[in-house]
Amino acid sequence: MSEELIPETPEQETEENEAAEPIKQRKNGLYPGVSDELAENMKSGWADTELRNLAPIPQAGHTAARRAALSARFPGERLVIPAGNLKTRSNDTEYAFRASTEYAYLTGDQTQDGVLVLEPTGEQGHEATIYLLPRSNRENGEFWLDGQGELWVGRRHSLTEAEQRLGIPAKDVRELAAALTGATGPVRNVRGHDASIEAALTDKVTAERDEELRVYLSEARLVKDAFEISELEKACDATARGFEDVVKSLDKAEATSERFIEGTFFLRARIEGNDIGYGSICAAGPHATTLHWVRNDGAVRPGELLLLDAGVETNDLYTADVTRTLPINGTFSPLQRKIYDAVYEAQEAGIAAVKPGAAFRDFHDASQRVLAEKLVEWGLLGDLTVEKVLELGLQRRWTLHGTGHMLGMDVHDCAVARTEAYVDGILEPGVCLTVEPGLYFQADDLTVPEEYRGIGVRIEDDILVTEDGNRNLSDKLPRQADEVEAWMARLKG
């Protein structure tokens, strides 16, 4: 990686601290060490690259409707929704930027430092403005001397281009903090994304009012619109191809580690989408009993199971969340199949409970009942009845987690929605959630027979509530044990 150009000057020999500062913070006329001739030369000889008559982004109509609903919910109040800023990974390098979910949901934009402001236009209605960094300046040398200039990190859209793409009037974000500082009237801000915006609003907002805005935007995503559903379908289809890639390369993973599986799936995510939607769980053997195993540094051995929990995030930031538990050698052992079939049966019961008018908790309860029945049948809970096991929650020793969650732009979408709107809510068409029961027998669990220890199984699919029931968006991947074995055999050749 190239380092930012910081020309040497005599002062740098004695003023070490000044030299350590980024050059973008030391601008004062011409840069030190840059000749007048070079500075003048860099100002000219560049083609006009302004893009004209750009088509709106595909979701522009949907984002406009979302902003209109937000406006109606908070009449007469200024609403501020930041995208967020770059975060340092190490020294002078940053993590790849991912816009805040709230900002991307309302604008379709993914630009760092962007801010959406809804300015009230009286008792009813708002005027939306998106504040962005314009193209880097060629007159003052920013585009080639600043570490965030175009010649270092690539071209940004101009404000005019942004307006055309997003359907929102655009202004220079560098003017926003001052405008907010002098603003009057009630304000709400989505916190946690942009410290400079929060500082400008420090005496104008309250934590309670800001949280109400954040909760509303979380609950607004409970029911997906047509664009969101198409994105989730796209994410699931790409994820299925990623799982196929993994099966085809299992021999290479056996020769290396779980990281080969992680890298194989990541390649598919980057080819077909923006990224992985969350850290991939590539858990082989006893690692499958660790719910969020993301170290992915263990051995991949024939005869054991691979629990792969992974999802592609689309370029518009919607993610799949799918899990399959696969026999590494392509064939389940009798005990592995028994446990797998139990989880499959539990998932079938859970999926059947997903329908409009059902309580959100119903699919969890249905899956947990099946798992409790199996554990009692196998003699792992003494002479207790299924009802008593469920009453006491004793099955949780081996099931551990809830059976699913909302899905969308966040893998655990709508996470700050009120309990009454989410966990205690009622399903309706457009809701998308996961159904993912599992059984996990820890390697050191002395309460189960030795042959069970170290076996973990989870099966997870992404389920859309429809007008008359549900639709499995990730059904391109087989689930039933025989089908899994046949699928793996075909892919392995």
User: What is the full per-residue pLDDT of the chain (493 aa) written as tens digits?
Assistant: 555 444 443 333 333 333 333 334 334 444 667 888 998 999 999 999 999 999 999 999 999 999 999 999 999 999 999 999 999 999 989 999 999 999 999 999 999 999 999 999 977 899 999 999 999 988 888 899 988 899 999 999 999 999 999 999 999 999 999 989 888 899 999 999 999 999 999 999 999 999 999 999 999 999 999 999 999 999 999 999 999 999 999 999 999 999 999 999 999 999 999 999 999 999 999 999 999 999 999 999 999 999 999 999 999 999 999 999 999 999 999 999 999 999 999 999 999 999 999 999 999 999 999 999 999 999 999 999 999 999 999 999 999 999 999 999 999 999 999 999 999 999 999 999 999 999 999 999 999 999 999 999 999 999 999 999 999 999 999 999 999 999 999 999 8
Neighbours of 388 (CB within 10 A): 13
Distances (CA, A) of 193 to 248, 314, 478: 40, 22, 40
Distance of CA 89 to the CA centre of its chain: 18
* Beta sheet of 322-327, edge-to-edge order: 281-284, 305-310, 322-327
| Contacts (Cβ under 8 Å, ≥6 apart) of 298 | 257, 258, 283, 284, 285, 287
Nearest in space to 287 (alpha carbons), one of 305, 262, 265, 310: 305
Query: What is the rounded CA–CA span in Å between residue 300 and residue 250?
Result: 8
DSSP-derived pairing of the beta strands 126-132 and 170-172: parallel
Domains detected in the chain: 10-41 (no CATH), 60-137+154-219 (3.40.350.10), 226-492 (3.90.230.10)
Q: Amino acid letter at 320?
A: A
| Contacts (Cβ under 8 Å, ≥6 apart) of 92 | 3, 4, 22, 147
Query: What is the rounded CA–CA span in Å between residue 393 and residue 241?
Result: 37
CA angle 216, 221, 225 (to 5 degrees): 135
pTM of the model: 0.93
Query: What is the rounded CA–CA span in Å between residue 189 and residue 60?
Result: 23
Measured over the CA atoms of residue 10, residue 11, residue 15 and residue 17, the dihedral's sign is negative
Phi-psi region of 172 (alpha: psi -120 to 50; beta: other; left: phi over 0): beta
Site of tokens 């050059």 = 23
Q: Amino acid letter at 101?
A: T
Q: What is the DSSP letter of 127?
A: E
CA angle 413, 419, 422 (to 5 degrees): 45
Q: In the structure encoding, which two tokens stand for residue 274, read together?
A: 């923006």
Query: What is the rounded CA–CA span in Å between residue 372 and residue 114?
Result: 50
H helices present in 362-417, as ranges: 362-377, 386-392, 396-399
